[in-house]
């Protein structure tokens, strides 16, 4: 059986919903990838008695616990104090931790507030986890059956502390066997459509199948038993990829890294040393923001201005606009995104609109037409993603 781990988040801002608990989601994925079984996510506000009670409970039921938050310098940061009470481990001054905090402020030419000295008080016998990314050192200790690690709640600090300090200790403390995980990322198919397609396949009951819908794509997730052969894994992944077809834009696992839709497009254009100019209307800059800073993006326009493109006829077609955009900017591709609908339909969540993508290339014109529904924000987001996906599907066939 894999070691059972719990994730414990501390902070009133998390409990109240002011801050989304992205730490727990990220930690879960890291721990699952290492071979642990994540049994619970628990969140507690700034109440000492609740923290103490939960720590005692976790110590009896879990093999490991990662706790984020509550290590700051203010009066509502209670994690270290709660640990001291729950496990009868008095707080002790750690001179090295104090020196590290002082140096942090010195490097930034700032005077260290007296309140930060609190962060150098660690539970007796704890292993200090030096924080090179902030002021709050983490610490680790064992109590009962459970090995605890406590880290800062700031996501960037938490992630660095986990990867650089906690993960090596976890692999010393626990014997884990990593299951093989494969994720197929797709765009353009709904979750129910994907599930229906997969019903055609004979997926072994030993393989755990799951789905995750995000704002940008859908993930089809496969978890294989430890003894599942690599050849059988590859065969199943190939079958699923073939069934879902062009909707799949990335497959991670088995030595392959995860990529977002924009990263796939970036890689295509960078490897081919090709350039792009964009006109977008509905997404109103969201598409350009995805491509910001890329050397292959030569220009972006929001809205169609035919005169600036040298088109002065009373009527010009979308294809002429895309080609004029390409020629004026001397790029390999000119992408025009536009829509046909009234402004009332665009803002009405109950009405769908028609979106068009037109790509001008040296070889000719490529087109795409689709329907978008939902709120204005959803329509704009989907318009930007649809343009990226159109590029992703079309570029490999262009010269």
Structure tokens at 122: 């660690």
How does DSSP classify residue 253?
Answer: B
125 and 80 share one domain: yes
Per-residue model confidence as pLDDT tens digits over 87-98:
999 999 999 999
CB atoms under 10 Å from CB of 179, counted, come to 16
Per-residue model confidence as pLDDT tens digits over 220-259:
999 888 888 999 999 999 999 999 999 999 999 888 888 9
29 and 105 share one domain: yes
For the chain, percent of residues with pLDDT exceeding 90: 69
CB contact at 8 A, 360 and 319: yes
223 and 276 share one domain: no
| Maximal CA-CA distance, the chain | 83
For residue 231, what are the domain limits?
180-258
Q: Tell me if residue 82 falls in helix, strand or coil.
A: helix
Per-residue model confidence as pLDDT tens digits over 295-329:
999 999 999 988 889 888 778 999 999 999 999 99
15 and 139 share one domain: yes
Instruction: Determine the pLDDT at residue 109.
Output: 87
Look up tokens 């923290």; give the residue. 51
29 and 154 share one domain: yes
Query: Is residue 202 packed enough to be buried (19+ CB in 10 Å), middle (13-18) or exposed (0-12)?
Result: exposed
Rounded CA gap, 47 and 82, in Å?
9
The CATH number of whichever domain residue 195 belongs to comes to 3.30.70.2860
Domain boundary among 173, 190, 205: 173
Instruction: Determine the pLDDT at residue 380.
Output: 95
199 and 167 share one domain: no
User: What is the pLDDT of the chain when averaged over all its residues?
Assistant: 92
377 and 268 share one domain: yes
Distance of CA 73 to the CA centre of its chain: 29
H or E segment to which residue 147 belongs: strand 146-151
Instruction: Determine the pLDDT at residue 253.
Output: 87
pLDDT-derived band of residue 58, with 50, 70 and 90 as boundaries? very high
The CATH number of whichever domain residue 124 belongs to comes to 3.40.980.10
Q: Is pLDDT at 33 greater than 90 in this prediction? A: no
Domain boundary among 227, 258, 289: 258
Q: Is pLDDT at 179 greater than 80 in this prediction? A: no
54 and 201 share one domain: no
Domain boundary among 173, 191, 214: 173
CA of 255: how far to CAs of 67, 182, 210, in Å? 30, 10, 20
pLDDT-derived band of residue 200, with 50, 70 and 90 as boundaries? confident
How many distinct structural domains can be found in the chain? 3
124 and 220 share one domain: no
The CATH number of whichever domain residue 330 belongs to comes to 3.90.950.20
Instruction: Determine the pLDDT at residue 177.
Output: 78
103 and 188 share one domain: no
CB contact at 8 A, 252 and 182: yes
254 and 115 share one domain: no
Instruction: Determine the pLDDT at residue 286.
Output: 93
Per-residue model confidence as pLDDT tens digits over 329-368:
999 999 999 998 898 999 999 999 999 999 999 999 999 9
57 and 201 share one domain: no
Structure tokens at 45: 């506000």
Instruction: Determine the pLDDT at residue 399.
Output: 72
In the chain, at which residue ranges do the beta strands (DSSP E only) sit? 4-10, 37-44, 64-68, 91-93, 121-123, 127-129, 138-143, 146-151, 180-186, 208-213, 218-224, 248-252, 276-280, 297-302, 333-340, 353-361, 364-372
């Amino acid at each position: 059986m894999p070691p059972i781990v719990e994730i414990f988040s501390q902070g009133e801002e998390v409990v109240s919903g002011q801050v989304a608990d992205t730490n727990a989601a990220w930690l879960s994925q890291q721990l699952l990838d290492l071979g642990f079984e994540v049994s619970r996510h628990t969140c507690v506000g700034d109440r000492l008695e609740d923290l103490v009670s939960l720590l005692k409970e976790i110590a009896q039921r879990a093999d490991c616990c990662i706790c984020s938050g509550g290590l700051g310098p203010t009066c509502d940061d209670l994690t270290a104090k709660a640990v001291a009470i729950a496990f009868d481990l008095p707080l002790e001054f750690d001179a090295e931790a104090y020196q590290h905090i002082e140096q942090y402020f010195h490097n930034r030419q700032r005077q260290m507030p007296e309140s930060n000295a609190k962060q150098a008080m660690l539970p007796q016998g704890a292993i200090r986890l030096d924080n090179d990314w902030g002021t709050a050192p983490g610490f680790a200790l064992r109590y009962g059956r459970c090995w605890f690690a406590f880290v800062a709640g700031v996501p960037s600090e938490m992630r660095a502390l986990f990867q650089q300090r906690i993960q090596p200790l976890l692999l010393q403390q626990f014997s884990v066997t990593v299951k093989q995980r494969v994720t197929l990322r797709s765009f353009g198919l709904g979750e129910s459509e994907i599930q229906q397609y997969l019903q055609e396949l004979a997926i072994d009951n030993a393989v755990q199948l799951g789905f995750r819908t995000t704002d940008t794509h859908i993930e089809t997730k496969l978890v294989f038993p430890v003894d599942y052969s690599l050849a059988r894994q590859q065969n199943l992944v190939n079958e699923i990829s073939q069934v879902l077809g062009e909707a799949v834009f990335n497959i991670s696992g088995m030595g392959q890294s995860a990529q977002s839709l924009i990263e796939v497009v970036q890689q295509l254009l960078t490897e081919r040393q090709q350039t792009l100019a964009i006109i977008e209307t509905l997404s109103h800059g969201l598409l350009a923001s995805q491509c910001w800073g890329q050397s292959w993006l030569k220009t972006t326009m929001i809205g169609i201005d035919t005169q600036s493109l040298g088109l002065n006829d009373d009527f010009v077609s979308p294809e002429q606009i895309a080609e004029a955009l390409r020629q004026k900017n001397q790029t390999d591709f000119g992408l025009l995104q536009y829509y046909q609908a009234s402004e009332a339909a665009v803002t009405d969540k109950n009405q769908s609109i028609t979106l068009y993508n037109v790509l001008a290339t040296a070889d000719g014109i490529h087109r795409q037409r689709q329907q978008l529904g939902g709120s204005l924000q959803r329509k704009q987001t989907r318009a930007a993603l649809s343009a990226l996906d159109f590029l992703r599907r079309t570029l490999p066939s262009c010269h």
